[in-house]
Amino acid sequence: MKKTACLMFLFLWMALPLVAQSDEEEVPRSINESTMVGIGGYNLRDTYLSPSTDINYTGWVARILNERMKVVRLADYKISRQQLINVEFGSTRNGAETANEYAGFVDYSLGYHYRFTNLLPGLKVLTGASARLSGGFIYNTRNSNNPVSGKGDFDLNLSAMAIYNFKIKEFPLTFRYQAEIPFAGVLFSVHKGEPYYFLTQGGSDGIVRFSSFHNKFAMKNYFTLDIPVSNFTLRVGYLNSMYRTDVNSIKTHVLSNSFMIGFVKEFVSFGGKRLKSNAHRYSSAYY
Amino acid sequence: MKMKTSITYYLLLFCILFSGCEEATKYNSSPRDNFEALWRIMDENYCFFEYKKVDWDEVHDRYSLLVKDTMNQYELFDVLGKMLAEVKDGHTNLISSFDMSRYWAWYEDYPANYYKEIQDNYLGTDYKIAGGMKYKRLADDQIGYVYYGSFSSGVGENNLDYMFMHFKECKGLIFDVRDNGGGSMTFSDRIASRFLEEKMLTCYTQYKKGNGHNDFTEPNPVYLSPSDRLRWPRPVIVLTNRHSYSATNDFVNVMRLLPQVTIMGDRTGGGSGLPFSSELPNGWSVRFSACPVLDVNKQHTEFGIDPDVKVSITGEDIMKGRDTIIDRAIELLLAKADSIEAASKSKISSAGLAY
């Protein structure tokens, strides 16, 4: 628990300078937001659901991914903030096609990146860290007292991104690649062979574990291409996500490759007092 | 050459980045592979090898000789099903799309001691149904009779309240769980909590944290608290037979601890291990006992619990359409009620429904 508290403190400390700095405002910093839907392949294995086997379940996954990025005041506007909300649901079958496994995950990620903007024309390189809170389940329809494997993770991640603006025959495009790897965190896992029913009877020792590379390897590789079309911007993408854990004698992997499509908008957000003091900057249909 | 090197480099980088790409597990019908997989699943997860004195390595060697690469799926299923039956466990099954192997000798080899047609002579057609319970007043409305045939049939708190209210004038209660093959322990706890006066230790649970046959956790004491709704403090008789199994066995394991409760009928079927499931490469599912539930003396009840009063249905009663066990239960409850009444007259108090 001490490790958990330290991790929480570390991240809160990273985010602290942002709290005390939103009064003065010059040029409003715009927010880049995209909402994408995706579909792709899913590959699951969980030895709580299929003990003493190495059987993979494969099928499809559908996801919705919302992303927001904004430059913040930190380090003289050289740091940007990224928030990601991902909701996914997948359906899989075993190789013999006799059993189904369904999985669903929701995760929220908050990241800060230092921006290197002068390396090459059109290129921005961002490096930083993020914190992710994730929860979900894998459900096997065939099982008796081990039908569900619940997942809950809090991670600190190393995160890096490259954004490249370029043109093909005067047509402006923006390519982005982002990689994220968790290096420390905490996660929830029952023990091998322990029914969830026992958790209600006081058998909850050791179900929250410190996680790092010794028992968890996860990674996200995220590629997007922004294509301006008429008055809107189309974003197409590809998300490769890996999640592997070996905790409390339970091995799990959740692997996916998803093709994504959605729209991007760049907007300035006014809210609260800023909304009133910047009335000359906008014409509202509501206020 | 340089171009080739850089392509190789990028391919290598791509492979590192996407090393998470795993193949789907292909359907594997090899008799040998499936035999070994089943043996290993049991070896690493089954919880009663030591208690039942089963030498699982010897079982491997004996059955390995029966597995041939040329055998068809039905022959393989037969061999694997027989191998599982070596552990004599009603919670252990092999399940394919065409059959389910099972070991049911724990009730098939014994007198039924429950006949629905005879029970109908007591329930008639005007009994009430609440949740999974059928209930009716018997013996001139002096005795409440409840038949609960499956712990998989939900029983709500309101169901129990209304049932107890229906029996509020009754002197005793028969709770019949004969032929109840089990289900959810949640319902077992919910019903048992209506008969408790105070929080009590009811059992210990443990599970296998490792792959060794004895890699168990320390037994974890489990307590049950009295319900804060209607409770039944008057005499109760729980009727059991050899087919009272699994969650029903756990229910009897709790009820037998209570002072106002008598267990009557035949020994329960047992089944004190919570089953887990896994699967074979050919897609067959396997279920096995994984987590033992121990009684308050930390003893297994896998092979059943003896009744306080052993009663069997006699051939003569069967001919008459009478259920010997229900009749004896009514008799005993009325006798108990009389003695309580005699005692209460001297104390000028009576036991009513408790809140």
Query: Which pLDDT tens digit goes with each residue over A52-108?
Result: 999 999 999 999 999 999 999 898 889 999 999 999 999 999 999 999 999 999 999
Q: Which residues in chain B are closer than 8 Å to A141, comparing Cβ atoms?
A: none
Token code pair at residue B96:
């394919």
**C-beta separation of B272 from B280 below 8 A:** no
B195: CATH: 3.90.226.10
* Residue B190 placed within a domain: yes
Q: Is the pLDDT of residue A21 over 60?
A: no
* Residue B161 placed within a domain: yes
Q: Please determine, looking at this structure, whether the domain spanning A2-13+30-281 carries the CATH number 1.10.3720.10.
A: no
Contact A203 B205 (CB under 8 A): yes
* Residue B353 placed within a domain: no
Q: What is the DSSP string of B286-318?
A: EEEEEEEEE-TTS-B-TT----SEE----HHHH
Q: Which residues in chain A are closer than 8 Å to B24, comparing Cβ atoms?
A: 43, 56, 58, 95
Helices (H), ranges, chain B: 2-17, 31-45, 56-64, 73-85, 105-108, 116-123, 157-166, 185-192, 247-255, 315-320, 324-347
Pick from A143, A219, A244: CB nearest B277: A143
**C-beta separation of B121 from B154 below 8 A:** no
Residues of B with CB under 8 A from a CB of A: 17-28, 37, 40-41, 43-45, 97, 185, 205, 207-211, 217, 220, 222, 274-279, 281-285, 287, 290-291
| pLDDT for residue B340 | 83
pLDDT band at A276 (very low <50, low <70, confident <90, very high): confident
* Residue B78 placed within a domain: no
| pLDDT for residue A20 | 43
| pLDDT for residue A269 | 84
Number of domains in chain B: 1
pLDDT in tens, A205-256: 899 999 999 999 999 999 999 999 988 999 999 999 999 999 999 999 999 9
Q: Which residues in chain A are closer than 8 Å to B187, comparing Cβ atoms?
A: none
* Residue B279 placed within a domain: no
Domain range for B233 is 116-273+291-344
* Residue B300 placed within a domain: yes
Helices (H), ranges, chain A: 2-15, 74-77, 272-277
Enter the DSSP assignment of B23.
P
* Residue B226 placed within a domain: yes
* Residue B121 placed within a domain: yes
Q: How many CB pairs under 8 A join A and B?
A: 136
> CA of A176: how far to CAs of A35, A226, A239, B165, B328, in Å?
15, 8, 12, 69, 81
Contact A195 B211 (CB under 8 A): no
Give the ipTM of the model, two decimals please: 0.87
pLDDT tens series, chain B, 355 aa: 455 556 556 655 554 555 455 777 888 899 999 999 999 999 999 999 999 999 999 999 999 999 999 999 999 999 999 999 999 999 999 999 999 999 999 999 999 999 999 999 999 999 999 999 999 999 999 999 999 999 999 999 999 999 999 999 999 999 999 999 999 999 999 999 999 999 999 999 999 989 999 999 999 999 999 999 999 999 999 999 999 999 999 999 999 999 999 999 999 999 999 999 999 999 999 999 999 999 999 999 999 999 999 999 999 999 999 999 999 999 999 999 888 888 877 664 444 555 5
| pLDDT for residue A16 | 46
**C-beta separation of A127 from A114 below 8 A:** yes
**C-beta separation of A225 from A34 below 8 A:** no
The closest of B59, B37, B47 to B288, measured between CA atoms, is B47
Q: Is the pLDDT of residue A5 over 60?
A: no
Q: Which residues in chain B are closer than 8 Å to A45, comparing Cβ atoms?
A: 22
Contact B287 A144 (CB under 8 A): yes
